[in-house]
Amino acid sequence: MYQRQVLGLPIHLGENYQAWLLERHRQGQGSLVVTLNAEMVMQADRQPSLRQVIHSADLVIPDGAGVVWYLRCQGERVRRQPGIELAEALMVNLARTEKVFFYGAQPGVAAQAARGWEQRLPDLALAGAAHGYLTPPEREQLTQVLRDQQPSLVLVGLGVPRQELWIAQHRALCPGAIWIGVGGSLDIWAGTKRRAPSWLRDHSLEWAYRLYQEPWRWRRMLVLPRFAWRALVDTRGLRKRQGTFLCK
């Protein structure tokens, strides 16, 4: 595992993120995982608290097509690592011996996602599930459940940056756990939304399918041209220093 940067933010590159996380877990080390995409990069530019969380994360993976494109422009051979796929692989590997907790999304969604995974993995040890609209007393109850259950994998779907900030504030409750902000993955696992077809994912167009399902996201997508421009400027500067300019 080695580290590079995307517009000043750390990104970790390697062959097998899952194996790296499981090895840390076996050693009793917890991990905060950030799934970085272009939108999050631009949000971190405006929100110092999010930027700080990303810098403090134990693992930052290239989740978005824009981040992968930026790294390839920098000469890195890298492929996209969707956070949803990393979370699914971890659940499969941790079933039978470790507990998983689902938190976030609309009322009923996390519980439905958990039930779906229990059907898929009958040996999955479920620590619990809670939606993302808890009252203050319910939030206190949630923290107590996490303290008592000590899940090994906590999947948080509160949206960026809320999920990253929440994880940073609460990861001490389960110091040996792997914590991942999974965004809309809970909805996909619950069946309330569908993931993009594989041919769109293979062509780095999963974001377009999500925009099709959630048209209200168009305003948030306006940051993407700004990211592309900054990436091109940054890459041109690097290539000039190296005497070349090539972006594939």
More confident residue, 48 or 246: 48
More confident: 170 or 64: 170
Q: Which amino acid would we find at residue 149? A: Q
Residue 47, pLDDT > 70, answer yes
Separation of alpha carbons 6 and 54, rounded Å: 11
**pLDDT value of position 230:** 85
Quick one: pLDDT at residue 38? 93
Q: What percent of the chain has pLDDT over 90?
A: 73
Count of alpha carbons within 13 Å of 135, Cβ hemisphere only? 2
What confidence category does residue 1 fall into, taking pLDDT thresholds of 50, 70 and 90? confident
| Helix and strand counts by DSSP (H, E) for the chain | 13, 8
Residue 97 falls within a domain, yes or no?
Answer: yes
Q: Is 248 inside any structural domain?
A: no
Say how far apart CA 131 and CA 138 lie, in whole Å.
10
- Structural domains of the chain, count: 1
**Is 247 part of a structural domain of the chain?**
no
* pLDDT per position as a tens digit, 201-234: 666 667 666 666 766 665 666 777 888 888 888 8
Whether 130 is in a domain gets the answer: yes
| Mean pLDDT on 237-245 | 52
Report yes or no on 246 lying in a domain. Answer: no
- Answer yes or no: is pLDDT of 78 > 60: yes
159 belongs to a structural domain: yes
> 118 lies in a domain?
yes
- Whether 139 shows a pLDDT value over 50: the answer reads yes
Residue 150: give the domain boundaries.
2-241
**Residue 153 falls within a domain, yes or no?**
yes
